[in-house]
Amino acid sequence: MVWATISWYSVGPIFTLQGHVTANDSVTILGDQVHPMVQTLFPNGDAIYQANNASFVVCFGEQSACALSTSIIDNRTYHVFQEEWYKIPLQIIQDLYLSIPRRLQAVLQAYTILVTVMCFLLGVSIFLSIPCSIWCYEHED
């Protein structure tokens, strides 16, 4: 697993974890890597930390008993990730941050359309009080 951080100001540390990530691994990463970076970038204490809670994908495959160890490849891959990570231009990071409101609006619009269609298919009227709040109530014919 690759763990990396970004902020408006820069990319943060990147490193890999082998095997399953335990609660102790998470605490160590947050305490040793993330917290010092956040304190440096946000000395006023106004930072917000968000973990994405991404689900992990596990792949199973057959491997020959004669197969070479991949530890050398894993180590090289990590160094390539690390080199490329630190080359990401600040403008790309800031453009990504600036695109977040537009992306959230697209998600909200898609959700509104989905709820409207579902309410129609279920024979339910829809009432939109504000763009983010959607209330459905049953028809009384």
Where are the strands (E) in 7-140, listed by range? Answer: 11-16, 124-130, 133-138
Q: Are residues 22 and 77 in the same domain?
A: yes
Q: Are residues 24 and 46 in the same domain?
A: yes
Phi then psi for residue 44, to 5 deg, are -80, -5
- Which pLDDT score is estimated for 51? 64
In three-state secondary structure terms, 92 is: helix
The structure tokens listed for 124 are 């339910």
Phi then psi for residue 66, to 5 deg, are -95, 5
pTM exceeding 0.85: no
- Which pLDDT score is estimated for 129? 44
| Helical H segments across 69-89, by residue range | 71-85
The structure tokens listed for 43 are 């000395």
Q: Are residues 73 and 133 in the same domain?
A: no
Q: Are residues 133 and 103 in the same domain?
A: yes
Report the alpha-carbon distance of residue 139 to residue 141 in Å, rounded. 6
Q: Are residues 70 and 98 in the same domain?
A: no
- Which pLDDT score is estimated for 104? 85
Question: The tokens 């209330």 sit on which residue?
Answer: 135
- Provide the domain limits for residue 113: 90-141
Q: Are residues 107 and 57 in the same domain?
A: no
Report the alpha-carbon distance of residue 27 to residue 31 in Å, rounded. 6
pLDDT one digit per residue (tens) for the chain, 141 residues: 777 778 788 887 787 777 777 778 778 877 887 788 778 877 887 776 666 554 444 444 444 444 444 455 566 777 888 888 889 999 998 998 888 888 888 888 888 877 777 777 777 655 544 444 444 444 444
